[in-house]
Structure 1
Amino acid sequence: MNNPFQSPTFTGIWSERFAANKSEHRFDFMPSLAFIKHRFLPLYTNVGKTLTKGISYRLELESARDFRKKAFLIYDVPSYFEIDTDTHGTGLGLYRSTQYPGFLINLENHGSVNEFLATAFSKSSRYKLKKYKKRFDASFDVRYVMYRGEMARETYDHIFDSFRKLLEKRFDDKQITNNNLDPKEWQFYYELSYPMLLEEKASLFVIYNGDEPIGVTLNFFSEDILFDAITVFDIDYAKFHLGSNTILGLLEWCLANGVKIFDFSKGYFDYKTRWATKTYDFEYHIYYDCKSIRARTIAYCTKRFFDFKQYLRDKKVNERMHRMTYRLKGRSSESVQHVNYRFHEIDPEGPIDTTRELPLDALENHHLRPAVFEFLYLNKGHFKDVRLYATRKKNRYLLTCNTKQVVVTLE
């Protein structure tokens, strides 16, 4: 109920960005959806297309027959929505094309995060999750903030700018393209999220280190479902497992606010399989007039086309394409420097052959942050107490935190 991807705000902004010169069409047999017509064919596609995280609809076939001589494509229908698609005796046909897998956490029978963890993870896994969060919270000036409802525009703009930079950094590191970072798509999310946030149909969950956003998740809401739309965190903090901390924070918020389902949305990632209590399918529903040869042909060819795309996806062709597209676009990953390093413990009373202290926040020293953060993780220190020094040997640095000190050698 109250599907956010069918709200006037979502459909209006999507239409402005992606169908500015096209008219919306509505049909009595499927009154809850708006459609855009194909330029040449009698094929109608739902507003929102692939940018929704789950479309719902209902059929009204007792008297409505305005589907005659037409075909209809509805993207991204989650199988767990359990939509009544019975068209028997109506002259309306249906093809389904199974696409991306989806993952969710059902929270209906859990009163707290600890209750959920006790049923979903082993004792050793629960210990690790708590350790990651405890170490992270102890090492930085951490804040977890859920923005939903009133929010200053300046704060929103600052977070969204950080959001984009973190995504660019993440996918430069992986050296693949990301559809969300397409300028037109990113501008859509930027224009959409603020008004939907004010309507409480969207939120931004942000992890701060001081005043710096280091983890951001864009969510959308229906009646009792949270849809995780886009999530990212600073890869420099990977040792602290910010992804797990983000999920824990969102689960805690969901349980405190009566949300029954935490939906990870479409696409396979290992972390989703570890956390999810249910796997489902995203389906494309293709309706057509059974009595129209043209409509039947269009519907059949549309199904075969998307079945073939999914076959290529299953064969990992899309991943290779994303990597090739990244290279063809001339993207540079110079800003993400892959550095291997080793720690060597030294005598705290021994001589320290240093030349100067290096500012940890300086851009030229950012390639050392993974080593600094792992040092913090291993030694239970706080970032404000860390000091980094250059030594007379190239690629060797001294790291200190309170009474602990190590030499870092870059390889």
Structure 2
Amino acid sequence: MIKDNPFSSATFVDYWGKHFLSGRKKHTFPFAKNLSFYKSRVPGLYINTGKNLTKGTNLELGEASREEKGNCFLIYDVIDFDSHQTKLNNYGLGHYAVRQYPGYLIDLEPYTSLDDFLSKTFKKSSRYKLRKYKKRLEECFDISFKAYKGEISREEYDTIFVNFRKLLEKRFEEKQISNNNLNTDEWDFYKDVAYPMILENKASLLVLYKNEEPISITLSYLSDNRVFDAITVFDTDYAKFHLGSIKIMYLVDWCLKNGWKTLDFSKGHFDYKLRWSNKRFDFHYHIWFDKKSWKAQVTAYTLKLYFTFKQYLREKKINEKLHKLTFAIRNKESNNLQYSFEETLQNYTEEDLIPLDMALPESTWFNKICYEFLYLFPENEKNIKVYQLRDRGSLYLIKGTDNESLVRVNFDK
């Protein structure tokens, strides 16, 4: 059982209601001791507050009463459930549980440090690569990690969230799929609720910086011993360094150093979750209904069929195709940057070269190319210079202390 579940906290529930209930009242029912509900637009149907924006609900059963009579109840994303059969039989309530999403987590209790975790989780060759990626990143850039928990200024918080959204937009534009976190209503909720929860030690922002620039950000929620990885992103310009894996290494290290027993990657399948987790579980949607009410029975069975069908489509990966289609409709044109590194076969004079100021916003498109150069030819970012070859607009020259390379660039529509 999750103790002190952040998604049942007054702050989370109140802010969710402020953003999504449009003035509708919250209700409680004796059969669900730790949850509140709102009345849906379907007569007789109540849905748990937080709905599908929680990252895991635990359901504690109480005693049923007259208040449940004639009604149906939908509870999203149940992962911990008090399932004593003797109680179920005495409630007068029918019950369906429909499996929806897989969940993944790292049980950290067996490990004492990041090195201990890596040694017991990955083969020698994989450990070597992971450590090489992290070392290479730290050699090429000024990298730091900061966890915001319990204290953060509003100004710093707002700055991080501006970068957070930019990185998410960039990430999903490259993947060419839509992402519901970026929908205005959801994003406004996350930004609004996370700040007070950080101050209450019920959430955290875990940020990896290059100099003072965030290059990876994770919004997590916190129970008494569990870290829920809610939304996470890294700057795709650093993909060559395997920044996604490096970020997880920093998260595991932070969790172990601060006594967290579980790092929960939350719902949904991604290859990185499968690779890093040591436990898998399922999220279920629970449907409870008055067994003596024909109306409640029909509502419950209809919901069961609907969510079973949705899961079937998800297993057939229809949802992935839909996300790609949605992205294509919203983004009819996108630029595809193509480039290749070539050996320099001659020396270039100052007259041949036009310096490219990488600090200017209009030069940021070249960052990914520079960072791949740094990965291939280990140099520190401070020691490289970039030039465009005069009268040869598609050719660029990157010069470091010990290495240099021509870059041929092409944009495909």
What TM-score do you get using the length of structure 1 for normalisation?
0.95
Moved more, 213-222 or 30-39: 30-39
Q: Are 2:388 and 1:406 aligned?
A: no
Give the conservation status (yes or no) of the 8 Å contact 1:173–1:333.
no
- Match in the other structure for 1:397: 396
Residue identity opposite 1:124 in structure 2:
S
- Match in the other structure for 1:9: 11
Query: How far apart are residue 21 of structure 1 and its match?
Result: 1.9
Moved more, 242-251 or 188-197: 242-251
- Match in the other structure for 2:50: 48
The alignment partner of 2:90 has SS state of coil
Matched residues in 2 for 1:332 and 1:196: separation?
Answer: 38
Give the conservation status (yes or no) of the 8 Å contact 2:58–2:81.
no
Matched residues in 2 for 1:202 and 1:165: separation?
Answer: 21
Matched residues in 1 for 2:90 and 2:57: separation?
Answer: 25
Distance 1:333 1:108, change over 3 A: farther
Matched residues in 2 for 1:290 and 1:6: separation?
Answer: 27
Matched residues in 2 for 1:170 and 1:318: separation?
Answer: 18
Query: How far apart are residue 346 of structure 1 and its match?
Result: 3.0
The alignment partner of 2:59 has SS state of coil
Residue identity opposite 1:399 in structure 2:
I
- Match in the other structure for 2:192: 191
Residue identity opposite 1:391 in structure 2:
L
- Match in the other structure for 2:173: 172
Structure 1, residues 3-35: CA drift from partner, whole Å, max 9, x if none? Answer: 000100000000011002211111122121100
The alignment partner of 1:27 has SS state of coil
Matched residues in 1 for 2:374 and 2:329: separation?
Answer: 39
Matched residues in 2 for 1:279 and 1:40: separation?
Answer: 34
- Match in the other structure for 2:356: 358
Matched residues in 2 for 1:5 and 1:325: separation?
Answer: 29
Structure 1, residues 99-154: CA drift from partner, whole Å, max 9, x if none? Answer: 01111001111111111111211101001110111010111111111101111110
Structure 1, unpaired ranges of 5+: none
Residue identity opposite 1:264 in structure 2:
F
Q: Are 2:259 and 1:258 aligned?
A: yes
The alignment partner of 1:66 has SS state of helix
Query: How far apart are residue 350 of structure 1 and its match?
Result: 3.7
- Match in the other structure for 1:380: 378
Matched residues in 2 for 1:382 and 1:338: separation?
Answer: 27
Query: How far apart are residue 250 of structure 1 and its match?
Result: 0.9
Give the conservation status (yes or no) of the 8 Å contact 1:354–1:398.
no
Q: How does 1:88-237 map to 2 (within 5 A)?
A: 88-237=89-238
Query: How far apart are residue 332 of structure 1 and its match?
Result: 6.0
Query: How far apart are residue 327 of structure 1 and its match?
Result: 2.9
Query: How far apart are residue 180 of structure 1 and its match?
Result: 0.4
Distance 1:109 1:357, change over 3 A: same
Q: Are 2:351 and 1:370 aligned?
A: no
Matched residues in 1 for 2:249 and 2:238: separation?
Answer: 16
Distance 1:271 1:152, change over 3 A: same
Matched residues in 1 for 2:273 and 2:33: separation?
Answer: 34
Question: CA RMSD, aligned part only?
Answer: 1.6
Structure 1, residues 148-192: CA drift from partner, whole Å, max 9, x if none? Answer: 111111000000000001111111112221100001110000100
Residue identity opposite 2:300 in structure 1:
A
Query: How far apart are residue 41 of structure 1 and its match?
Result: 1.4
Structure 2, unpaired ranges of 5+: none
The alignment partner of 1:110 has SS state of coil
The alignment partner of 1:343 has SS state of strand
Of all paired residues, the percent bearing the same amino acid is: 46
Matched residues in 2 for 1:153 and 1:294: separation?
Answer: 49
Structure 1, residues 174-211: CA drift from partner, whole Å, max 9, x if none? Answer: 22211000011100001000000000100001111111
Give the conservation status (yes or no) of the 8 Å contact 1:29–1:66.
no
Give the conservation status (yes or no) of the 8 Å contact 2:60–2:81.
no
Query: How far apart are residue 39 of structure 1 and its match?
Result: 2.5
Residue identity opposite 2:378 in structure 1:
K
Residue identity opposite 2:336 in structure 1:
H
Matched residues in 1 for 2:361 and 2:58: separation?
Answer: 47
Give the conservation status (yes or no) of the 8 Å contact 1:346–1:407.
yes
Structure 1 counterpart of 2:344, from 334, 343, 346 = 346
- Match in the other structure for 1:268: 269
Residue identity opposite 1:72 in structure 2:
F
What TM-score do you get using the length of structure 2 for normalisation?
0.94
Residue identity opposite 1:401 in structure 2:
G
- Match in the other structure for 2:20: 18
Query: How far apart are residue 362 of structure 1 and its match?
Result: 2.4
Matched residues in 2 for 1:332 and 1:255: separation?
Answer: 45
- Match in the other structure for 2:303: 302
Matched residues in 1 for 2:48 and 2:84: separation?
Answer: 16
Query: How far apart are residue 40 of structure 1 and its match?
Result: 4.0
Residue identity opposite 2:356 in structure 1:
L
Residue identity opposite 2:20 in structure 1:
F
Query: How far apart are residue 365 of structure 1 and its match?
Result: 2.5
